[in-house]
Amino acid sequence: MVKIELTAVDWLLASDEPWTRYRTTLDLQDLSPSDPRVLQARAQLLAHPQVENLITTAAAFAETPIKRHNDASHPLYALSTLADFGLRRDDPGLDRIVNTVLAHQSAEGPYQSVINIPVRFGGSGEDVWSWILCDAPTLLYALLQLGVEQERVQPAIDNLASLVEENGWRCTAAPDLGKFRGPGRKTDPCPIANVYALKALSLLPTMLESNAVRRGAEMLMGQWERQAERKMYLFGIGTDFRKLKYPFVWYDILHVVDVLSRFPYVHTDPRFREMLDTLTDQADEEGRYTAASMYRAWQGYSFADKKRPSPWLTFLVRRIQARVKKSEKDRAYR
């Protein structure tokens, strides 16, 4: 068993993806950020042309309206992916982007994006700075992951926690957007809003077992449990949901399981274990994972290649497994 684990990690470390090597040293090898191997991987990460291109894309955040929230080419997702890779606010090119986000905070607390909602969906058809629960939590996640101090973003955190209902987060938008709401029942929770909200709150140790988190996690696991009943806000759990896909843009099994795995108390829930099994059953004989679906905007990355195993996808699944193993050990020592 130990030999298999070492072989898998060695494969990740031998990848030509510096983001995979960097996150592997930190999250799977548990090396110190000051370890020479970590520093080398990080230097290679920052110098990589694809990372530089992502920074350029993210820099267009203020000039690019969101017209649909599953547009993987939008700068919002370049920013969140840079955060996933492990970049920091003080890395070249990031501080200006972070300051742009910080400069557009609503009176209610959430950070805003440029949004364009067509008239037929209840919007004005014009570009406006505003927020919806399928974009604002991603900005909060990115800011925290990039190293912005919690005190600076606390109003956004407080607002996000306050919006949760008994059945999780519902489709909620800024007051200035009027009656806009997604295509679902008013009292239903919105699955993708729950994923985004939980991901942001997972970065705050004091929130890991909060009522807000428990309601959101229960919403996601409950939908898995009752997946044959009906969709909420058009989000179902079918064949497409089960396909491995990255970046973390929309509602799919890798995104949901990754987010849930951030909360140790969830790990013993049989519904989470079923979801994890559905995910890990997609490994090949060597324990590697290949994308089953892809965003065309991300062609050129291993996680957008359906023909070959992806080091990054493999890392993401192994990190989930590592989180579960750690919590099992922690429970054993109690």
Contact 22, 42 (CB under 8 A): yes
Q: Give pLDDT, residue 98.
A: 98
Cα dihedral 202, 208, 210, 213, rounded to 10, equals: 40
Contact 180, 123 (CB under 8 A): yes
Q: pLDDT per residue over 67-95, tens digit each?
A: 888 999 999 999 999 999 999 999 999 99
User: What is the arithmetic mean of pLDDT over 194-214?
Assistant: 98
Q: Cα 217 from chain centroid?
A: 14
Q: Give pLDDT, residue 312.
A: 98
Q: Give pLDDT, residue 287.
A: 94
User: What does the mean pLDDT of the chain come to?
Assistant: 94
Token digits of residue 51: 């990372």
Q: Is 178 helix (H, G, I), strand (E, B) or coil?
A: coil
Share of the chain above pLDDT 90, in %: 86
198 vs 176: which has the higher pLDDT:
198
Q: For residue 271, how many other CB atoms are within 10 A of its CB?
A: 17
Q: pLDDT per residue over 11-42, tens digit each?
A: 999 999 999 999 999 999 999 999 999 999 99
List the single range of 78-82, 172-176, 270-274 with lowest mean pLDDT. 172-176
Between CA 203 and CA 191 the distance in angstroms is: 19
Q: Give pLDDT, residue 173.
A: 92
- Cα angle at 282 between 278 and 283, to 5 degrees? 130
Token digits of residue 47: 């110098």
User: What is the arithmetic mean of pLDDT over 60-67?
Assistant: 94
Q: pLDDT per residue over 296-306, tens digit each?
A: 999 999 999 99
Contact 193, 136 (CB under 8 A): no
Between CA 250 and CA 191 the distance in angstroms is: 10
Number of continuous H segments (helices) and E segments (strands) in the chain: 13, 2
Between CA 283 and CA 280 the distance in angstroms is: 6
